[in-house]
Amino acid sequence: MCLPEVAEEVKRCCKCPLCKSRTNPVPGEGDPEAEVAFVGEAPGKEEDLEGRPFVGRAGRLLRSAIEELGFERYYITNAVKCRPPGNRTPFQSEVEACKPHLVRELLCVKPRLVVALGRTAARALLGFDAPIKELRGKMLPAKLGRAELKVLVTYHPAAVLRNPRLKDEFLRDLRKAYEVAYKQTSLARFVGKDEARKGSGGEGEEEEGAD
């Protein structure tokens, strides 16, 4: 199972109550052989209307930053694929219900590095919760099914919009992600395509707001 099939699965999914309040489900998008995958929290209002990730104000900030820094092959998605009412932080039960979709996306793309945007994404990928200020800027190991990967944690761009003082650290983290993904040739992709097609299920901050 790879990205088109995962997207169809997301569109059909009703494993949590968010499917009843969403306008559109929002699967990830980007290069299917991306070097870097960016994982956010959940869709916001504009994403819900368009059915695409990171097209709101926070998304425009993220896309502008990663393009200015020179990222060429990247993939963008969210830990949760449907908008929570009022842009609230997703419940842990919603994150867990959606985690198999995230796992399958990453197995398909097999990026060299995953950037967790905010506390919700970090918890979904790492399997534990901690304040974002304790995690940001760190390269941490994660395991999804049988696959191991490297995760770099930074702020969600919505947090940067609310608190511009975070922008320097946010950009510093993205520069680090660029250096790691594109210049450290010893960092291998974390899983082969053959395992991705098996459709392996998931093992598996302060409120960040919408994309």
> Among residues 39, 206, 211, which one has the least CA distance to residue 134?
206
Instruction: For the chain, give every domain's residue range.
Output: 3-184
Query: What is d(CA 202, CA 156) in angstroms, rounded to the nearest whole number?
Result: 23
> Among residues 146, 161, 133, 131, which one has the least CA distance to residue 195?
146
Structure pTM?
Answer: 0.88
> Cα–Cα distances in Å, from 187 out to 112, 183, 198?
6, 9, 24
Q: pLDDT digit string (tens) for 36-92? A: 999 999 999 999 999 999 999 999 999 999 999 999 899 999 999 999 999 999 999
- The number of CA neighbours under 13 Å toward the Cβ of 20 is 4
Q: pLDDT digit string (tens) for 97-135? A: 999 999 999 999 999 999 999 999 999 999 999 999 999
What is the CATH topology of the domain spanning 3-184? Uracil-DNA Glycosylase, subunit E (3.40.470)
In the β-sheet with 147-154, what is the strand arrangement from edge to edge? 29-30, 74-78, 36-40, 113-117, 147-154, 139-144
* Tokens 């867990």 sit on residue: 96
